[in-house]
């Protein structure tokens, strides 16, 4: 809440990590995102909130070009990561997704061992020089995913054998294993119990020391707890974007106010 | 913005707690009026009733605070709802303090009726109490109608209360210099005047809460302070 004042924050000024300019997204004839302009800061957590179908997940998926996989989806406008257009022809989406990691709503571990789930990214991107290196990365990632203590004795058991909450934390561990610069989270806690949710939120807070985290959430309280900036989407429009503390105490737009206070709007 | 929550029980909770604030406000207004009436008419019985009635005000404060705590815990209010709960808690605190000052006025009245009356002092006190009670009524109206303009008007009017207090202060000083036997009753009367002036400050604080509730911002503090302590 008051962590804008955290030590260190005054030293490194917030820079713009992701900059979206006049972004339009169409699914066939449906205009899903309407002229969205937003600057997402580095080293902070940005929450996207809004009712179902408002476009927040669609917009999130634009940031690592996940919408490329949908044939009828067209993206217009510019999305800049560190000033470079991610939709440029020269950009390899696979490399982009190593820099911009993603965690989905439903846990989707690979049908492999817990160890291999986490080791997969570092292996294909050549981040580990030796087996020992890889062991260190796997342990570190699993610890950051707040699941190490639960799986350290069965690293070679299949990831799919874990509980839903554990699988989700495994997926987060997998996403952070490649040391992404940006982590996109699409309702990462909707399948987790309150304890695991708190652990993931703690993890998000820790991640923002180094990365930009963008989280889509239906839990307003979660957005309020974890983010420094909040963007409210409605019917494909970015209605309001500002400091989380301002959005939740004194929103400027009536639609934002109606939504966050739980009124019909 | 639509006024109703999807969860209608939330609306009922918010309305319930505001109704209690209004009830409390009504009791406090009555306490001011009765206390100042008892002072003017040297009515010890009425003063005693005011003292006893304060318990109901204190009890309402506890009930409202408990309901606010429950609202925060169970409904996690945000934006206008959050500001509503926050201002209810502060306003309740202000009302409780005003109630205490009214009770104190009644207590001093019970002492004053057994002393020689000081002629000419009670009219000013009654006018001042009446004005504070009107300001309280207006600020509660402003609160219920979400009227920031009316709240600002009340803020401005507190200056008059301060001036009334200053005038009374000088008057009591003169009485005491004239005749040392006036010192005891005038000390009590002065405390009553000071407490009434403090009531005005609490009303002002409520007005600020109304402005915060409506606009999301506290008013800038540029109100000139009229209270001076130079005795001349």
- HEC readout, A120-167: HHHHHCCCCCCHHHHHHHHHHHHHHCCCHHHHCCCCCCEHHHCCHHHH
Contact in structure between A124 and A206 (CB atoms under 8 Å): no
- Shortest CA gap A7–chain B (Å): 28
DSSP A10: T
pLDDT > 70 fraction of chain A, expressed in percent and rounded: 94
Contact in structure between B157 and B220 (CB atoms under 8 Å): no
The residue segments making up the domain with residue B138 are: 8-215
Q: Six-digit token pair at B170?
A: 């000088």
Contact in structure between B161 and B200 (CB atoms under 8 Å): yes
- Give me the CATH number covering residue B18: 1.20.58.220
Using a CB-CB cut-off of 8 Å, the residues of chain B touching A242 are none
Domain covering A3-260, topology: Rossmann fold (3.40.50)
Least confident of A59-63, A160-164, B164-168: A160-164
pLDDT > 90 fraction of chain B, expressed in percent and rounded: 82
DSSP A128: -
Q: Label the pairing between strands A182-186 and A73-81.
A: unpaired
pLDDT in tens, A109-141: 999 999 999 999 999 888 888 999 999 999 999
pLDDT > 90 fraction of chain A, expressed in percent and rounded: 67
According to the model, what pLDDT value does residue B220 have?
A: 81
According to the model, what pLDDT value does residue A13 have?
A: 59
Mean pLDDT of A218-238: 93
Mean pLDDT of A77-103: 92
Nearest to B6 among A221, A250, A263 (CB): A263
- Shortest CA gap B77–chain A (Å): 7
Using a CB-CB cut-off of 8 Å, the residues of chain A touching B77 are 261
Q: Is residue B96 part of a domain?
A: yes
According to the model, what pLDDT value does residue A8 have?
A: 42
Say yes or no: B217 contacts chain A, CB-CB below 8 A.
yes
Say yes or no: A52 contacts chain B, CB-CB below 8 A.
no
Say yes or no: A139 contacts chain B, CB-CB below 8 A.
no
According to the model, what pLDDT value does residue B128 have?
A: 95
pLDDT at A211 > cutoff 90: no
According to the model, what pLDDT value does residue A7 have?
A: 45
Using a CB-CB cut-off of 8 Å, the residues of chain A touching B82 are 248-249
pTM given for the model: 0.80
Query: Please, what is the average pLDDT of chain A?
Result: 89
Determine the Cα–Cα distance for residues B47 and A180; give it in Å rounded to an integer: 74
Determine the Cα–Cα distance for residues A119 and B214; give it in Å rounded to an integer: 54
Nearest to B5 among A250, A251, A263 (CB): A263
The residue ranges of chain B whose pLDDT is under 50 are: 230-232
Mean pLDDT of A56-65: 93
Say yes or no: B6 contacts chain A, CB-CB below 8 A.
yes
pLDDT at A173 > cutoff 80: yes
For helices B122-145 and B183-215, give the axis angle rounded to 10 degrees. Answer: 10
DSSP A158: B
According to the model, what pLDDT value does residue A265 have?
A: 58
Compute and round to an integer the Cα radius of gyration of chain B. 19
Say yes or no: A36 contacts chain B, CB-CB below 8 A.
no
- Shortest CA gap B50–chain A (Å): 39
Q: Is residue B220 part of a domain?
A: no
According to the model, what pLDDT value does residue A190 have?
A: 86
Greater confidence (A6 vs A95) lies with A95
Q: Is residue B227 part of a domain?
A: no
According to the model, what pLDDT value does residue A11 have?
A: 44
Asked if A265 lies within 8 A of B217 by C-beta distance, the reply is no
According to the model, what pLDDT value does residue A56 have?
A: 92
- What is the ipTM metric for this complex? 0.71
What total number of domains does chain B contain?
A: 1
Q: How confident is the model at residue A5 (pLDDT cuts 50, 70, 90)?
A: very low
């Amino acid at each position: 809440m008051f962590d804008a004042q955290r030590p260190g924050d005054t030293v490194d000024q917030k820079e713009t990590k992701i900059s979206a300019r006049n972004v339009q997204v169409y699914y066939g004839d449906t205009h899903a995102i309407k002229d969205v302009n937003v600057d997402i800061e580095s080293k902070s957590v940005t929450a996207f909130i809004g009712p179902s179908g408002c476009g927040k997940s669609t917009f999130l998926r634009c940031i690592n070009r996940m919408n490329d996989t949908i044939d009828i989806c067209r993206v217009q406008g510019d999305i800049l990561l560190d000033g470079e257009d991610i939709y440029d022809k020269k950009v390899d989406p696979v490399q982009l997704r190593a820099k911009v990691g993603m965690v989905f709503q439903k846990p989707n571990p690979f049908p492999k061992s817990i160890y291999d789930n986490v080791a997969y990214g570092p292996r294909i991107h050549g981040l580990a020089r030796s087996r020992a290196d890889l062991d260190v990365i796997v342990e570190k990632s699993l610890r950051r995913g707040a699941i190490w203590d639960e799986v350290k004795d069965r690293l070679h058991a299949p990831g799919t054998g874990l509980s839903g909450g554990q699988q989700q934390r495994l997926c987060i561990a997998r996403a952070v294993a490649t040391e992404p610069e940006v982590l996109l989270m699409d309702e990462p806690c909707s399948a987790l119990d309150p304890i695991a949710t708190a652990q993931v939120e703690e993890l998000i807070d820790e991640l923002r020391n180094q990365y930009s985290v963008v989280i889509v959430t239906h839990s307003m309280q979660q957005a309020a707890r974890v983010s420094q900036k909040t963007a409210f989407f409605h019917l494909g429009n970015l209605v309001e974007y500002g400091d989380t503390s301002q959005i939740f105490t004194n929103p400027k737009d009536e639609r934002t106010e109606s939504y966050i206070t739980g009124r019909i709007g | 913005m639509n006024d109703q929550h999807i969860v209608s029980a939330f609306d009922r909770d918010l309305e319930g707690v505001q109704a209690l604030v209004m009830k409390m406000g009504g009791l406090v207004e009555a306490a001011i009026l009765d206390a100042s009436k008892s002072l003017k008419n040297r009515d010890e019985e009425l003063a005693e009733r005011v003292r006893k009635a304060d318990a109901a005000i204190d009890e309402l404060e506890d009930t409202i605070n408990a309901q606010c705590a429950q609202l925060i815990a169970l409904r996690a209010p945000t934006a206008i709802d959050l500001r509503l709960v926050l201002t209810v808690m502060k306003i309740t605190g202000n009302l409780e303090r005003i109630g205490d000052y009214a009770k104190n006025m009644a207590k001093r009245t019970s002492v004053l009726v057994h002393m020689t009356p000081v002629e000419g002092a009670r009219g000013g006190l009654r006018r001042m109490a009446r004005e504070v009670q009107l300001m309280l009524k207006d600020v509660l109206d402003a609160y219920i109608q979400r009227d920031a303009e009316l709240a600002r008007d009340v803020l401005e009017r507190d200056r008059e209360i301060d001036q009334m207090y200053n005038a009374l202060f000088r008057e009591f000083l003169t009485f005491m210099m004239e005749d040392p036997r006036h010192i005891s009753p005038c000390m009590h009367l002065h405390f009553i005047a000071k407490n009434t002036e403090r009531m005005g400050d609490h009303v002002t604080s409520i007005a600020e809460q109304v402005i915060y509730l409506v606009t999301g911002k506290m008013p800038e503090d540029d109100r000139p302070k009229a209270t001076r302590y130079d005795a001349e």
